[in-house]
Structure 1
Amino acid sequence: MGTSGRRVGRPRAAQRPDSGLPAREELLAAAAEMFTERGYAATSTRAIAERAGMRQATMYHYFDGKEDLLAALLEGTVTPSLRLARGLLADDGPAPAEARLWQLCRSDVELLCGGPHNLGALYLLPEVRAEQFAGFHRVRAELKETYGQLLAATESCGALDKRELVLRTDLVFGLIESVILIHRSGPERPVPVFAAATADAALRVAGVREEDLAAAREAGRNLA
């Protein structure tokens, strides 16, 4: 079963102090905390339910199990970026493609590294290759395709043949997702500064000239 269309209303055993979250979101918050701190394999559904302040049986009212919780968390790290990417791609305003690409890269890094838990690190779990995570991989592939479309619209990549454009897309998208490991090794870095620096690096990989980078960055910030 998927992670949407759940029934609502079954009461929880006890509410987590200072929470205020709906039951489903509380379970996701508990799972995120435990998966990133204790490890996915070492975390049981009972422990997640207890951390969220509810019975294990109640948890199964919202999620089928650990895989369902993990899939929902993973999709939550990609879906907002895909929504932004579609909007930037459809934008017919004066901002050049370089600025739109910069904003997408910056926002994507902030999403991957923001929040109290390094959810991006969950991408590295071997379990994520399983069939249950097909929805996450589908959304991620669509996001990568949108990166490629924005790259194709830039001046530096517009004349590339298909094979070269695919390579450039792989490099830029790989750079953005590499922040997962970099952030894990240095979580004290201010995320907004880290995100802007990574977006700058992505434009350099895309072939934007150094003398044009500042203008693309400024126009990208204005898109926020």
Structure 2
Amino acid sequence: MAYMTTRRSRPGRPRHVPDSGTASPRDQILDAAARLFVSQGFAATSTREIADHVGIRQASLYYHFAGKDEILVELLRKSVRPTTDKVDKIRNQVPPLDYETALYLLVLVDVRTLADVDHNVGMLYMLPDVTNGEVYTEFRKEHEELAAAYADLASKVASEKVLEGVSLKQLGNMLIQQVEGVISMRAEMITQDTVRRISCPEAWAIASSCLRICGVSQDKIQAANAVAVEMLDDFLEDRVREPA
């Protein structure tokens, strides 16, 4: 059943200057904010500066967002939601009881999310002015939801020895931290406006390392890789596929 939602009214006015690109004004604001937050910090960036980068009045920005905090939450969600939205699909489409493949595939999807998000906004996790702020609490719930998905799958594949040493919550956090190494990898700048790309072998290595942390044997890791790589495109609807 479809539901109709009513968009709350916002102060300010819509865009004052003509759009110079194909992206919506809202997306252009998010893009400019991501670039500025990552390059100079959240606290050091004003809504006026974001508006100037987009080419709109500050009042027009407030038509789309209530303020800087709302922009930040939306950007943080872009680094998590594309993965959390696919957790149930992964569980439902992976062969029954093949939890190693499900975990491997979850890692690959998460790596792609972090690798593709504009301006490497995952870097915002590392900024004290972000993580120490009240606005981060709202995002933390979604981040913990993803960690719980990792913990749930890990509970199905982890060896007894591993589970004797750490709690499931700790294990889930260990796995998500392993995946978020992608953020630091992307931070290795090639040029001012280009970040390092994450290769398929690198993504496979991250996924394999997550299964090793759980104590999964190498033969099962290889089997999970073979199935997960074949399934991956079905979970990346927005990806522009290369011609065969």
TM-score above 0.5: yes
Q: What amino acid maps onto 2:145 in structure 1? A: E
Give the number of the structure with larger relative contact order, counting CA–CA contacts within 8 Å between residues 6 or more apart.
1
Whole-Å Cα distance in 2 between the matches of residues 66 and 182 of structure 1?
27
Among residues 194, 204, 208, which one is paired with 2:202 in the alignment?
Answer: 194
Q: CA deviation at 1:93?
A: 3.3
**Residue matched to 1:75:** 77
Q: Which runs of 4+ in 1 moved over 6 A?
A: none
Matches within 5 A, 1:166-181: 166-181=169-184
Matches within 5 A, 1:24-43: 24-43=26-45
Whole-Å Cα distance in 2 between the matches of residues 154 and 5 of structure 1?
44
Alignment RMSD: 2.7
**Residue matched to 2:68:** 66
Count of residues paired in the alignment: 220
Q: What amino acid maps onto 1:216 in structure 2? A: A
Whole-Å Cα distance in 1 between the matches of residues 218 and 139 of structure 2?
35
The TM-score normalised by the length of structure 1 is: 0.85
Q: What amino acid maps onto 1:202 in structure 2? A: C
Structure 1 position 51 matched with structure 2 position 53: yes
Q: CA deviation at 1:149?
A: 0.8
Change (3 A) 1:46 1:141: same
Gapped runs of 5+ residues in structure 1? Answer: none
SS state of the match for residue 222, structure 2? Answer: helix
Change (3 A) 1:72 1:191: farther
Q: CA deviation at 1:6?
A: 4.9
**Residue matched to 2:236:** none
SS state of the match for residue 157, structure 2? Answer: coil
Q: CA deviation at 1:108?
A: 0.8
Whole-Å Cα distance in 2 between the matches of residues 92 and 138 of structure 1?
26
Change (3 A) 1:115 1:164: closer
**Residue matched to 2:24:** 22
**What percentage of aligned pairs have identical amino acids?**
31
Q: CA deviation at 1:76?
A: 1.3
Gapped runs of 5+ residues in structure 2? Answer: 1-5, 190-194, 233-244
SS state of the match for residue 41, structure 1? Answer: coil
Change (3 A) 1:204 1:155: closer
**Conservation of the 8 A alpha-carbon contact between 1:89 and 1:149:** no
Q: CA deviation at 1:109?
A: 1.5
